[in-house]
Chains A and B, each alone.
Chain A
């Protein structure tokens, strides 16, 4: 009897080690994936980086015929489209989150909230084709001529809105990105605002503050860090987004002063050119672009996650 029990216990121990090993192995695999991504990108990008050196990130020229490649134009496009997107999506997302947490009648709170969350699940290619077939023509016909005619004549800011109305271009890409990250930013901000203890808000109201004052002086300061974290998570998405941008950016490797001009981003360059790239240097330069994107987004997402984590920790701490 004792022997059987001992055998049973030994067997159990073996199973236990096997199961724990399997789960640990899977967990370690996550680390290996990230390491593998970094290593494989570095390896693929090496020929281009070795050939162009630091010049790769500061040169604008992108010429497959002469095999001269510089990442400046796609980097510029990536940053500018994402900035436009953030400029449009953050205030709107903030407004939606406010509406959902502070103003909305309870009846429609859930439906709108669920609609916003479901829209965050719509694949980005849908936003891309909508941008190309619906938004771009509207912009070309109505919005861009107006911008060129009125804003384009102002000193300073006017140079951003010059040139013919193509419809597609940096500005259009930024707007499509804005619409795409909007549900995401709104949902994150709403979640953040909901963690503000009711007691804090009620104290504000008790002192005679208006709704806006409670929002601006109580809710916003209390959720500042996590709010910025949520915005940066949205920024990370915008920076790396491929399909929504590729349709409407125009894929032109140059830096125009005007936001109405076609441009390119890192991800859309890769998507557009990768399968057509001839020659090792061309392919390697595109992978080097991917490496740059990886570094940029990794930095942004890491900062965002750190900021969001601070919120989680504070929530756990007793008030």
Chain B
């Protein structure tokens, strides 16, 4: 009888602890989001989107940083996403279970969780040192290197979802694999590929560490890819650590913009995936 009571007690104890853990975790994360939103909105003004980053004590915004982030993310995706997609295509359509594919898959998963600051050092060594100066291009390349594993992984997963029967039908009509991939597999996996693209953009647009010593920062408006360029994450980093209240406010506004953008991207990716799954079930 005692034993049964003890078991019951233990059951209730651990299950309550699990509920406590969940509330604790969610409370922490809610606190972060709440701080972000309240401080971010306080720091928000029309200037944020229309003016350059200011000197301390002056009025200003984040326009150059927003432009820089958008430009570098765009270039990074244009370089990184196709490479990742092609590599993912190889793994899914050609390599499949070969030893080379297994190794590539493994290395890709390692790169996927490798510290981004290491990628920054890598690009510093191969581009910044060689060119002799920091540049937006180096920043974009470091972001591209981070985007490749994300793009590869999602592409392979999405192509694997395409029914084998479709590929076989195309092959039976005499199409070579390249024709099958371009005309059958890619269109069938279209929304999945878009999801991968969105996730890759979300992954790189908040990256700070690799930009610190590749793109650096620039207080002024610059569209020169061969020169340092302002970008949101590094501006947030520098402004948040500064002793000036107006800089800190801008940092919060920037943090809110970045987080909101990433959440919108991630949520859109989920919605597309959910639609895809309900399509498949139908």
The number of chain B residues touching the other chain, given as a range, is: 35 or more
- When C-beta atoms are compared, the residue in chain B nearest to A239 turns out to be B115
- In the complex, whether B32 has a CB less than 8 A from a CB of chain A is yes
A91 to B18, CA, bound (A): 9
A37 to B122, CA, bound (A): 5
Asked if A142 is at the interface of the complex by the 8 Å CB criterion, the answer is no
Query: How far, in Å, is A141 (CB) from chain B's closest CB?
Result: 16
Evaluate contact between B113 and A24: CB separation under 8 angstroms: no
| Shortest beta-carbon distance from A69 to chain B in Å | 16
Measured in the bound complex, the distance between the Cα atoms of B120 and A240 in whole Å is: 12
Known pairs A27-B95, A267-B209; A125 contacts B115 (CB<8 A): no
Q: Is residue B136 contacting chain A, with contact meaning CB distance below 8 A?
A: no
As a 0/1 sequence over residues 180 to 198 of chain B, the CB contacts with chain A under 8 angstroms (1 = contact) are: 0110000000000000000
**A75 CB → nearest B CB, Å:** 14
The B contact surface, by secondary structure, is helix
CA distance A274 to B214 in the complex (A): 11
Q: Chain B residues near A246 (CB, 8 Å)?
A: 237
Q: Is A19 an interface residue (CB 8 A)?
A: yes
Q: Which of B20-28, B49-57, B58-66 contacts A (4 or more CB under 8 A)?
A: B20-28
Tell me if A's interface is mostly helix, strand, loop or mixed: helix
A220: shortest Cβ distance to chain B, in Å?
Answer: 12
Is A301 a contact of B19 with CB atoms below 8 Å? no
Chain A residues within 8 Å of B24, by CB? 92
Proximity string of chain B (53-87) to chain A, C-beta cutoff 8 Å, 1 when within and 0 when not: 00000000000000000000000000000111111
**Contact among B11, B110, B149, B152 for A211, CB-based, below 8 A:** B11
Residues on A with C-beta less than 8 A from B145 are 33
Tell whether A1 is near chain B: CB-to-CB under 8 Å: no
B202: Cβ under 8 A from any A Cβ: yes
Assess whether A96 is in contact with B240, with CB atoms less than 8 Å apart.
no
B176 touches A12 (CB 8 A): yes
Q: Are B216 and A275 in contact (CB under 8 A)?
A: yes
List of A residues within 8 angstroms of B15 by Cβ = 98, 103, 211-212
Q: Are B22 and A294 in contact (CB under 8 A)?
A: no
- The listed residue (B14, B35, B213) touching A130 by CB distance below 8 A is B35
Task: Known contacts A92-B25, A290-B118; decide if A126 and B7 are in contact (CB<8 Å).
Answer: no
Binding-face segment, A115-123, A146-154, A195-203: A115-123
> Among the listed B28, B117, B236, which residue makes an inter-chain contact with A290, where contact means beta carbons less than 8 Å apart?
B117
User: Do the beta carbons of A96 and B25 come within 8 Å of each other?
Assistant: yes
Q: How many residues of A contact B (CB 8 A)?
A: 90
With an 8 A cutoff between CB atoms, is A281 at the interface?
no
Assuming the contacts A30-B104, A129-B236, A270-B117, asked whether A19 and B22 have C-beta atoms less than 8 A apart, the reply is no
Stretch of A38-46, A50-58, A157-165, A252-260 at the chain-chain interface: A38-46
In-complex Cβ contact of B109 among A99, A124, A126, A305 (8 A): A305
**Contact status B22-A212, CB under 8 Å:** no
Residue on A nearest B262 in the bound complex, by CB: A121
Determine whether the beta carbon of B32 is less than 8 Å from that of A127. Answer: yes
Whether B10 contacts A212 by the Cβ 8 Å rule is yes
Which partner residue on chain B sits nearest A241 by CB separation? B115
Asked whether B220 is an interface residue with its Cβ less than 8 Å from the other chain, the reply is no
Q: Could you name 18 residue pairs across A and B whose Cβ atoms are closer than 8 Å? A: A13-B176, A16-B176, A19-B181, A25-B86, A30-B152, A33-B148, A95-B17, A96-B25, A122-B206, A122-B263, A125-B208, A126-B255, A129-B251, A182-B29, A240-B116, A247-B241, A275-B213, A275-B216
